[in-house]
Amino acid sequence: MNEPSGSAAERFAVYRKTARPYAPLLTIWGLEWIASAALSFLGQWRDMETYHMYTLAAAAILTLIAAVWSKRSLLRRANAGSLLLPALCVLMAVGALFVLDYVQAIDPFFVPLLHAFALAVGYTFVSIYLGRPLLYLGLWLFALDVVVALHYLGYTLLILSGFGGLSLLVFAWLIGEWNRKRRRKPDKRNKSRKTRPLVVELE
């Protein structure tokens, strides 16, 4: 894939460096989504609701650890006040979904479909700042959501949670690859700028 050149490449490099603290969170929740898909498959034979709560609690605890104590944590790199409002919005959205689900105001397939569509739209929006790979990832996930909704609605939780979690892991891997390439570039420049040995001519 051709990378953008000039100022666009520099802009992407800045945003990709800024995205580094999010990679652990993407990994945590990607694994949680995949575990949720596996548990929903096993739930055909036995009750797995308790294990769903365990995986969700484990992901929340690991997120808190990554956000507070990691060397590259969000709280260390950003002003806590600037994170308060986005965190409040996320909590309000999650709380609203839980309440709607509790009072049975929404279809059981609505939440996994909403998660997957929101993730696809999010990838497409973030591609403005991080480049085409996220655009392709968002379009692929959106197409998968449409196909599942139209033809495989009964497998919504299994398919969309599994592939949604996989896409989060791919996103985390992309962030790591971008920053590894960025760290290797100065080494190449330094090698090309080796000083030539001084030649002393003896008369």
Mean pLDDT over 47-72 rounds to 78
How far apart are alpha carbons 13 and 29 in whole angstroms? 25
Maximum CA extent, the chain: 97
**pLDDT at site 1:** 44
Task: Say if CB 168 and CB 26 are below 8 A apart.
Answer: yes
The single-letter DSSP state of residue 129 is H
Radius of gyration of the chain (CA): 22
Contact partners, residue 11, CB within 8 Å, separation at least 6: 129
Measure CA 200 to chain center.
58
Angle CA 42–43–48, to nearest 5 = 105
Q: Quick check: helix, strand or coil at residue 33?
A: helix
Indicate whether 195 pLDDT > 60. no
Contact predicate 156/109, CB 8 Å:
yes
Contacts of 114 (CB under 8 A, 6+ apart): 97
pLDDT surpassing 50 at residue 200: no
Q: Over range 91-97, report the average pLDDT.
A: 75
Nearest one of 122, 111, 100, 86 to 33, comparing CA atoms: 111
Q: Which of 23-32, 55-64, 151-160, 165-174 has the highest mean pLDDT?
A: 165-174
Question: First-to-last CA distance in the chain?
Answer: 57
- Note the pLDDT of residue 87: 65
